[in-house]
Structure 1
Amino acid sequence: MAKPDAVFIYIGTYPSEAVARADYDIVKDLHAVGAVGTYDASVVTKDDGGKVHVNKDEMATRHGAWGGAAVGALIGLLFPPAIIGTAAVGAAAGGVSGHLWRGMSRADVKEFGELIDAGQAALVIVGESTLAQAVEKAGLKAEKEVAKQLDVSTKDIDKAVREAATELG
């Protein structure tokens, strides 16, 4: 049974960025109808040079209370900074990544990273535990997926995001 205040991570891989974006739109629609609480989601791609890009829809960023910090923090844990080709992973993600890191095992980090490496595109979602059931019912079209509930409080993530936003002005 999901802990009501736990953080849920979903990563699905797709044959193309377009298919990943279609599922991303489903997640936004789930949020719009109140099926999921606070979340952060992005489509992640790798270019021909091997750089990882976190692609945010600006409207979704405004709706997601974590504003890119949660996915950015997770990507920052999974990949070395040298191959991350986006500004989405930055200082704002620092405090958040510490909380996520404490909630994951090294095996989780390896599994998440390898899953993203395996696809042409990935949908990465970090959110409240209510997201788990909604994503399962939505029938997302990922070729491969992994979903984990972390023993991390969403309140801790919220606090870290607020502190980072204050520090950045």
Structure 2
Amino acid sequence: MAKPEAVFIYIGTYPDETAARADYDVVKDLHSLGAVGSYDASVVTKDDGKVHVNKDETATRHGAWGGAAAGALVGILFPPAIIGTAAVGAAVGGVGGHLWRGMSRADVKEFGELIDEGEAALVIVGESTLQQALDKAELKAEKQVAKDLDVSSKDIDKAIREAAGEVS
């Protein structure tokens, strides 16, 4: 069992972006119902050798994490040259550093290989309470990997606030 403040990562793959977005909507609904704490989620696609992180404006308002955590994870998994969006940006710094320390090289390889050419993936980074809610929601991913990291969600919150200039 993970520590209550641990960070949880979920990556599920789908046959297309529409299927991934359907589960993305389920996660947003879970948040609206108060079933999950702070988290960040993105639909990721890979085509023509480029990785695209797709977010919509209302979907990035999940507690303090608003867009930085999933972008930082994608920035760790893929070299900058193949990331086709600017969504990763500055978030990779502090947030990515915390996530990186919580993952082994095998984790990074497993997460990155899960997203195959021509498929879509749902990437979620959140508090450990998210895992239980996702298990109950029975997301429709074809393949999935879920792991608790030995990283404090409080450290992620602080890194995101610092990146936004809210905390010195």
Output the TM-score relative to the length of structure 2: 0.95
Separation (CA, whole Å) in 2 of partners of 1:44 and 1:92:
17
Check if 1:16 corresponds to 2:32.
no
Question: Matches of residues 130-169 of structure 1 in structure 2 within 5 Å?
Answer: 130-166=129-165
Superposition misfits of 4+ residues, deviation over 6 angstroms: none
1:30 partnered with 2:15: no
Tell me if structure 2 keeps the 8 A contact 1:93–1:164.
no
**Runs (5+) with no aligned partner, structure 2:** none
- What secondary structure sits across from 2:61 in the alignment? helix
1:65 positional shift: 2.2
Partner of 1:103: 102
What count of residue pairs does the alignment treat as equivalent? 166
- Which amino acid in structure 2 is aligned with residue 143 of structure 1? E
Farther-moved stretch of structure 1 (116-125 vs 88-97) = 116-125
SS in structure 1 of the partner of residue 10 of structure 2: strand
Corresponding residue number in structure 1 for 2:119: 120
Deviation per residue, 1:31-90 (Å, 9 max, x gap): 00000000000000012x211010012101123421111001100000000000111111
Distance 2:164 2:121 in 1: 27
2:86 is matched with: 87
**56-65 or 32-41, larger mean C-alpha shift:** 56-65
CA distance in 2, matches of 1:138, 1:57: 22
Distance 1:6 1:118 in 2: 31
Measure, in 2, the Cα distance between the counterparts of 1:119 and 1:159. 35
Shift in Å at residue 119 of structure 1?
6.1
Q: What is the alpha-carbon distance in structure 2 between the residues aligned to residue 17 and residue 113 of structure 1?
A: 17
Q: TM-score, normalised by structure 1?
A: 0.95
How big is the shift at 1:3? 1.1
How do 1:49-64 and structure 2 match up within 5 A? Answer: 49-64=48-63
Paired amino acid for 1:111: E
CA-atom RMSD in angstroms: 1.2
Structure 1 residues without counterparts, runs of 5 or longer = none
